[in-house]
Chains A and B, each alone.
Chain A
Amino acid sequence: MPSPLLTLRGLGKSYGSVRANHAIDLEVAEGSIHAILGENGAGKSTLMKLIYGVETPDAGEILWRGAPLRVTSPAEARRAGIGMVFQHFSLFDTLTVVENISLVVPGTKADLGQRIRTLGQTFGLDVDPQAYVHALSVGERQRVEIIRCLMTDPRLLILDEPTSVLPPQSVERLFQTLQRLKEGGVSILFISHKLDEVRAICDRATILRAGTVVDNVDPRGHDAHALARMMIGHAMPEMAHARSLAPGEVLLQVDRLNHRPDDPFAMALADMSFEVRTGEVLGLAGVSGNGQAELTRLISGEWTLPRADAERVRMMGRPVGDRGAADRRELGFAFVPEERLGRGAVPDMSLADNSLLTAHRLGLVRNGLIDRTREAAFTRRCIEEFDVRAPGPEAEAGALSGGNLQKFIVGRELMLAPRLLFVAQPTWGVDIGAATAIRRRLVELRNQGCAIFVISEEIEELFEICDRVMVIREGRLSPSLRIAETDVQEVGRYMVGTREGTGGGDERAHS
């Protein structure tokens, strides 16, 4: 048997007292699509960073085609033939595709443009080399990233959660590309926590839990439940299915909202109208960059409208369009933003001080002075109830993993007992167990009469918890669809624009 392309033996990496990776053994065969499966915090990203030379291992060795390989930087990894596409793209919006690529790949622009076209034809990655990146859809940007990697002629391509940013139709297309790459002799390391995807295209799956390898299987031979059990170590918690309630009072009403931002790369919002009632969850689906960020800020109160437009946004029956976040929160509004660090929490402050950010209303401040005892008590309760893995209320928010901080922020906002809750990406980066717990809390809250508005890029999540769903595209809203009467395909069609039909066409975010 020929030696595998990449072999890891006993690889380990610790950060302080945290063992992110421990004694990892892994073999990636030539021409295979190999999945790394694991919950958030299982050590997937650390492992990829070790392979790609972003971090150096404390222990163990890496073999490349049977010979020891030492990578101390991504540049060395690229020279060896390892390429990586990160979850968050690193492209310059104001440059064209070919300009972006020429920043890392030597060659004249004409020459590079030609190679971009050729690669595009070979692997189904067509993209116009002269297009400006800001005018590209997310799917196209990802293609640019992949092309940029392929330019260096890698033998191994690492993809970090590549489908998390794509609409369903583009996922299909990405998979075709990956198949062609595999046939072209490129091995692929595919990081994901989406079990169906892994089962659809991967030949092998290595499952990580708490920094160690727990199993190494052929994913096609196991069903999603079995894989999930391997990932989280116990059976998947069942989701209580949401039964519809009689619609109640309108708590959030957006009425003919128009907004033109100053930033030329931000999305203008056109004529948006919708309402959320007590006892219902309304979801907003859409490919990111289609106006979600702008709508979010206008609803949260981080951006305000001129006084004349106060009526465009109403909460609990009152016009609040011109009011800031504090005034809206006084009415019983709570909000979980998609950025945790620096927006939903202050990274350099303790969890206790981060409680104060929005929970100061709950008697944590008396006579203008902070009541440290109550502050700590509140924080401790939040840590316990929402299973935040942190040493205690004094832990710095920035030191928590993304998923744990998300649990803390969601917990803090839920403990405010809001009448109207707005959550952007409720389970982004949270492991499956905790994600299910968060979703269940949201449904419980709805059953208690809370009105909930959720923005998510995970359609499955929206179908799980929402009563109705809308799609945002190019700053406009689709009609609201009852979950019981629609399906993923229909929502997907609205995401990419109905005119392009269903044939795997890709959307253009700005046209």
Chain B
Amino acid sequence: MTELPFRLRLIRRDGASRRAALLAPLAALLAAGLVNFLLYIAMGKDPAAVFYAMLVEPFVSWSSFSEVLLKLTPLLLIAEGLAVGFRAKVINIGAEGQFILGAIFAASIPVWFPEATGGWIWALMLLLGGIGGALWATVPAFWRVRLNASEILVTLMMSLIAAQLLNYLLVGPWKDPMGFNFPQSVMFQNDAILPTLIPGTRVNVALILAFVWAGLIYLYMQKSFQGYQLLVGGLAPHATAYAGFSEGRAVWLSLLIGGFAAGLAGAAEVAGPLGQLQRSVSSGYGYTAIIVAYLGGLHPIGIIFSSLLIAALNIGGDNAMVSADLPKAAVEVFQGSLLVFYLAAITLVRFRIQWRPPQEVRA
């Protein structure tokens, strides 16, 4: 019976329309564009040049667009995997660590068998990467199921451990003896590098893998009974117990799927654009993918678009830093404001605001 000091309320809409849900990201993009337009003017930058570099160039220049596709690959893989868990309310924010473990597992082949040849090597590396990521996720899964430890905290802490493990390997046992003491592994042999998809670019087979993965997740979440059980767990935990669905299994599945996807992405990163294990493999894909997953409405199809958008904004941001002399912070402001506006827009899809003027009752 408490009253808000202001007469403004959020009222749940009778039914959220699909059209409004699709329009929300566009509205958010528009609003973020407007706010940043003012920001650029205040900064004395030419908004047109910035927007061209940021939003148009990634799509019109082939070399830029291929980089967008390259960036999209890990984001799509990880975000699709994470979204499964998020919809089951199993919040895995440690994809970064699972990604690093995937990279380490994949790198073990070229590091230990630098002479090995054969087309199976990169395929095995990808598989190992997925397994590595999933194994890293077993720790928070076990702790959550057995000890009821929050998977949010454990996955996050496991990421920090993974980063230190990577450091240890790179300055210790896996350091390239011919690498002038740089913390990096040997360069991988040719068969340990993913085949390029489009000649002249860095786009490789992992892109196809990412789209196949998105398709599988779509099937899993929309059509399978197991995916349905995960959804029930996320929406109504008591209904899970009522129906006799196992909560522990939901935690395990969510974390293993998320971990596998992140590990796969990590493997594709070292076996793709990097070509060796180095510190820069951990560049925040695991965290960005969380944003991508939510921006895509946790829907397998939506995430395809959101990963494309975020990848393009990343490349566009780089472009803008170079061609429009925009500071890095301003690029981050754009991305941050986009997320804030999206969250506001999606809230308005589900709720409507009601103003209640104090002296008006009768219609």
A positions within 8 Å CB-CB of B: 15-16, 56-61, 70-75, 90, 104, 300-302, 324-329, 335, 337, 339, 341-349, 353, 356-358, 360, 365, 368-370, 396, 399
New A-B pairs, 18, CB < 8 Å, besides A70-B361, A339-B238, A369-B224: A15-B14, A58-B363, A70-B362, A71-B361, A72-B356, A301-B244, A324-B246, A335-B242, A342-B236, A342-B238, A344-B239, A345-B239, A346-B232, A347-B235, A349-B232, A358-B243, A370-B224, A396-B15
CB contacts (< 8 Å) of A16 on chain B: these are 14
Please classify how large the interface on chain B is, using the bins under 10, 10 to 19, 20 to 34, 35 or more: 20 to 34
B196 contacts partner chain A, Cβ-Cβ < 8 Å: no
CB contacts (< 8 Å) of A90 on chain B: these are 1
Identity of the chain B residue whose Cβ is nearest the Cβ of A17 in the assembled complex: B14
Q: Judging by beta carbons under 8 Å apart, are A343 and B14 in contact?
A: no
Within 8 A of A (CB), among B214-244: 223-226, 228, 231-232, 235-236, 238-239, 241-244
Cβ contact of A57, chosen from B1, B228, B236, B362, cutoff 8 A: B362
Report how far A16 CA is from B231 CA in the complex, Å.
28
Q: A15-B14, A75-B1 are in contact. Are A368 and B243 (CB under 8 A)?
A: no
Q: Judging by beta carbons under 8 Å apart, are A326 and B239 in contact?
A: no
Q: Judging by beta carbons under 8 Å apart, are B228 and A370 in contact?
A: yes
Q: Judging by beta carbons under 8 Å apart, are B239 and A368 in contact?
A: no
Cβ contact of B223, chosen from A327, A370, A399, cutoff 8 A: A370
CB contacts (< 8 Å) of B244 on chain A: these are 301, 324-329
CB contacts (< 8 Å) of A343 on chain B: these are 236, 238-239, 242
Report how far A346 CA is from B3 CA in the complex, Å.
30
Identity of the chain B residue whose Cβ is nearest the Cβ of A347 in the assembled complex: B236
Report how far A358 CA is from B242 CA in the complex, Å.
9
Within 8 A of A (CB), among B179-236: 223-226, 228, 231-232, 235-236
Identity of the chain B residue whose Cβ is nearest the Cβ of A12 in the assembled complex: B363
Report how far A474 CA is from B232 CA in the complex, Å.
34
Q: Judging by beta carbons under 8 Å apart, are A59 and B225 in contact?
A: no
CB contacts (< 8 Å) of B231 on chain A: these are 349
A-B contacts, 27 listed (Cβ < 8 Å): A15-B14, A16-B14, A57-B361, A61-B362, A70-B360, A70-B361, A73-B3, A75-B1, A75-B3, A90-B1, A302-B238, A302-B241, A324-B246, A325-B242, A337-B242, A339-B238, A343-B239, A343-B242, A347-B236, A357-B232, A357-B239, A357-B242, A365-B225, A368-B225, A369-B223, A369-B224, A370-B225
Q: A61-B362, A104-B1, A396-B15 are in contact. Are A346 and B236 (CB under 8 A)?
A: yes
B17 contacts partner chain A, Cβ-Cβ < 8 Å: no
Interface string of B327-363 (1 = CB under 8 A from A): 0000000000000000000000000000010111111
Identity of the chain B residue whose Cβ is nearest the Cβ of A336 in the assembled complex: B242
Q: Judging by beta carbons under 8 Å apart, are A326 and B243 in contact?
A: yes
Q: A58-B363, A324-B246, A399-B14 are in contact. Are A72 and B358 (CB under 8 A)?
A: yes
B143 to chain A, nearest CB (A): 20
B40 contacts partner chain A, Cβ-Cβ < 8 Å: no
Identity of the chain A residue whose Cβ is nearest the Cβ of B12 in the assembled complex: A398
Identity of the chain B residue whose Cβ is nearest the Cβ of A329 in the assembled complex: B244
B59 contacts partner chain A, Cβ-Cβ < 8 Å: no
A327 to chain B, nearest CB (A): 7
CB contacts (< 8 Å) of B241 on chain A: these are 302, 325
Report how far A370 CA is from B14 CA in the complex, Å.
27
B245 contacts partner chain A, Cβ-Cβ < 8 Å: yes
CB contacts (< 8 Å) of A342 on chain B: these are 236, 238-239
Report how far A301 CA is from B241 CA in the complex, Å.
8
Report how far A326 CA is from B358 CA in the complex, Å.
52
CB contacts (< 8 Å) of B361 on chain A: these are 56-57, 70-72
Report how far A411 CA is from B254 CA in the complex, Å.
32
CB contacts (< 8 Å) of B360 on chain A: these are 70, 72
CB contacts (< 8 Å) of B226 on chain A: these are 368
Report how far A71 CA is from B223 CA in the complex, Å.
49
CB contacts (< 8 Å) of A345 on chain B: these are 236, 239
Report how far A342 CA is from B234 CA in the complex, Å.
11
Identity of the chain B residue whose Cβ is nearest the Cβ of A343 in the assembled complex: B238
Q: Judging by beta carbons under 8 Å apart, are B363 and A356 in contact?
A: no
Report how far A85 CA is from B245 CA in the complex, Å.
38
Q: Judging by beta carbons under 8 Å apart, are B224 and A346 in contact?
A: no
Report how far A300 CA is from B1 CA in the complex, Å.
35
Q: Judging by beta carbons under 8 Å apart, are A349 and B225 in contact?
A: no
CB contacts (< 8 Å) of A302 on chain B: these are 238, 241-242
CB contacts (< 8 Å) of A399 on chain B: these are 14-15
CB contacts (< 8 Å) of A348 on chain B: these are 235-236
Report how far A325 CA is from B247 CA in the complex, Å.
12
A471 to chain B, nearest CB (A): 26
Within 8 A of A (CB), among B278-303: none
Of all A-B residue pairs in the complex, the 10 with the closest CB atoms, nearest first, are A326-B244, A325-B244, A70-B361, A343-B238, A302-B241, A346-B236, A365-B225, A342-B236, A16-B14, A357-B243
Q: Judging by beta carbons under 8 Å apart, are A353 and B228 in contact?
A: yes
CB contacts (< 8 Å) of B245 on chain A: these are 326
Identity of the chain A residue whose Cβ is nearest the Cβ of B246 in the assembled complex: A324
In this complex, the member of B1, B228, B231, B232 whose beta carbon has the largest number of chain A beta carbons within 10 angstroms is B1
Report how far A78 CA is from B223 CA in the complex, Å.
52
Within 8 A of A (CB), among B1-27: 1, 3, 14-15
Report how far A335 CA is from B246 CA in the complex, Å.
17
Q: Judging by beta carbons under 8 Å apart, are B224 and A368 in contact?
A: yes
CB contacts (< 8 Å) of A324 on chain B: these are 244, 246
CB contacts (< 8 Å) of B362 on chain A: these are 57, 59-61, 70
Identity of the chain A residue whose Cβ is nearest the Cβ of B7 in the assembled complex: A72
CB contacts (< 8 Å) of B1 on chain A: these are 74-75, 90, 104
CB contacts (< 8 Å) of A360 on chain B: these are 225
CB contacts (< 8 Å) of B243 on chain A: these are 325-326, 357-358
Report how far A396 CA is from B362 CA in the complex, Å.
31
Identity of the chain A residue whose Cβ is nearest the Cβ of B233 in the assembled complex: A346
Report how far A80 CA is from B243 CA in the complex, Å.
48
Report how far A59 CA is from B363 CA in the complex, Å.
6
Report how far A339 CA is from B239 CA in the complex, Å.
10
Identity of the chain B residue whose Cβ is nearest the Cβ of A337 in the assembled complex: B242
CB contacts (< 8 Å) of B232 on chain A: these are 346, 349, 357
